[in-house]
Structure 1
């Protein structure tokens, strides 16, 4: 077990960014940068002492400073979209950053993904833990309240746990998530042959701007059906021969607050399977179709559309403007908490 820290560079404003690396006896290794509380590496032990890095990223800090795809970052205060970049709370209308057409996406122009996080005081028992915090001031991005947030990365026996915590001095929305792009082959090539299984029977209906209208659609008989293992490129009902673009929210069958299995992903090329367990009530699937083309990633890998996919545990998009959705308002005196675990195991490859 080890926990190492190094200076990884500086931002354009001259602020130092540190990179933390943790490892455990099981052979797992994770790297997290204080810029955006970003997961830059997640290495999984394979056969013969080999390790496979299963997340997209960059070798240098400059890659993250220039990135527009939220690669590996922590998303907040809210994930996904808020329609019209506005909401009403306790009789007052709030106006947020409009950073995707007329809507607000992933916390705005400078969300948590582009902030410098503080390393929290740790103890000797933290060899497998990286704990970061950030104080979001009142009105940042248009949000009310001073919000103190914590993100803790912990290596577990079979993978990685990410824990979230937040406190506020005014009622404010909070709906945080992680945004790693996974590729279980570790090569940054097209991940469309990865197979997914999502433990949900419905998706939210989205309009052309990916804003929900409140309707839930059964996945059975649609291209969004991953109730059984199906390739990312084409679900079991797609016969067109063309990859299906996925950017869908799945309310999980397990509900909220209990750590439960939400999704599975596997690659027959590497023989690796990943479980995603979460206390959140839903998962956003994004198939990575709009990843920037010809992006130079780790070790010279060239990233582009479908180099990786995201499975983002969160609460319903645009919940602020949909009172029928679960509330994402955090009140003073209450604590926002949720957990996501990424667990890995080998499985028998298809003959």
Structure 2
């Protein structure tokens, strides 16, 4: 019998102040299942079929709501108000300097100490053949040091073609900076081993080199002849330990922003990932100018899945579609400034098939 598409809702757990977090299970007719919570807008779990049709988990997640409350290494939440790093935890708009929390050495990362990943969003489920959950959060003026009241909408839609579409929208009442992304860790093996055999292609001919604190220097370097060249499909493990490369040393592997060759803001193919044993193939489409590729270089095996699988180093692959890190302090980068009357809009799609 074919699975019935639609959406189910249940209580996921309670916050310390007594508010309830909800868990939404989205299913399509093909049997793909994605669980989303309105706490942090997390993708809690996601299954996809292998070449034999077996549905298995393809993103990292922790077992219980209490585990999410403790905090994770960003196992699938929405990151905001600004994904990635801002140098010196400050930026200037229209001549006024704004100070942010320093939560990554002297720098600011992923929206601060209590970013969007730790907020309870308002959720509206949408039933149907392509079930969706619409999430809304209003970030008050001054939250984590950011100016302006920011109204944010994120919609997760599970499509018929085994794709999860994420639409982001935001508006502000004061000039501010916005850079939203999802921080899912993918593992297409069904959690059987690390991601070093995953074959990655990125439609990007340049990367942003960083300093030792992983802040982009402002340069844009070609990937040709470096361990960062994934223009042709290449196993992630092929050059990840090439410590003769300064950038690999700084990131302890891959933790860099690739600049797409296609500079348009239309929805375009940005990357593909293939896991040969399972046959799972993922295509990533985005309207964004770049993608931060992170190979879980700092996982230590102390966190486990609900099935008890230990998440060791390099057990996941993040493809965080976004504007560039530290854009507010780099005038040459595409702007992340949002002004009153403007609408921030961004879309990313992760589509699964087998081959």
Per the normalisation by structure 1, the TM-score is 0.94
- The CA RMSD over aligned residues, in Å, is 1.9
How far does the alpha carbon of each residue in 1:178-212 deviate from its partner, in whole angstroms, 9 at most, with x for none? 00000001116311111101001111110000011
Take 1:322 and 1:47, find their aligned partners in 2: how far apart are those partners? 45
Alignment of 1:271-350 (within 5 A): 271-347=279-355
CA distance in 2 between counterparts of 1:301 and 1:236 reads 23
Q: Distance in 1 between matches of 2:59 and 2:21?
A: 20
The structure-2 alpha-carbon separation of the partners of 1:199 and 1:118, relative to structure 1 and needing over 3 Å to count, comes to: same
Q: In 2 relative to 1, CA 256–111 (structure 1 residues): closer, same or farther, beyond 3 Å?
A: farther
Q: Does 2:181 correspond to 1:181?
A: no
Local SS of the residue matching 2:333: coil
Hey, what's the Cα distance between the residues in 2 that align with 1:82 and 1:239? 26
Note if 1:148 corresponds to 2:156. Answer: no
- Say whether residues 1:257 and 2:268 are aligned partners: no
Match of 1:64, SS state, is: helix
User: Structure 2 matches for 1:79-90, cutoff 5 A?
Assistant: 79-90=83-94
| Superposed displacement of residue 285, structure 1 | 0.5
Match among 6, 26, 50 for residue 10 of structure 2:
6
SS in 1 for 2:186: coil
Q: Is the 8 A contact 1:41 1:56 kept in 2?
A: yes
Report the Cα distance in structure 2 between the residues aligned to 1:214 and 1:239, rounded to whole angstroms: 22
Find runs of 4+ consecutive structure 1 residues off by over 4 angstroms: 122-127, 236-240
The SS at the match of 1:233 is: helix
Counterpart pick for 1:202 among 190, 194, 206: 206
8 Å CA contact retained: 1:180, 1:310 = yes
Residue 76 of structure 2: which of 72, 90, 94 is its match? 72
Match of 1:134 among 134, 137, 145: 137
Q: Deviations over 1:34-92 (max 9, x none)?
A: 11000011111345652122100022112212234111110001111000000011111
> Residue 212 of structure 1 corresponds to which residue in structure 2?
216
Q: Does 1:116 align with 2:124?
A: no
- Cα deviation digits, residues 139-179 of structure 1 (max 9, x gap): 00000000010110001123210110001111110000000
How far the C-alpha of 1:134 sits from its partner, in A, is 0.4
Q: What does residue range 215-226 of structure 1 map to in structure 2 within 5 Å? A: 215-226=219-230
Within-5 A mapping of 1:44-83: 44-46=48-50, 49-83=53-87
**Is 1:37 aligned to residue 41 of structure 2?**
yes
Stretches of structure 2 that go unaligned for 5 or more consecutive residues are none
Q: In the alignment, what sits opposite 1:245?
A: 253
What residue ranges of structure 1 are gaps of 5+ in the alignment? none
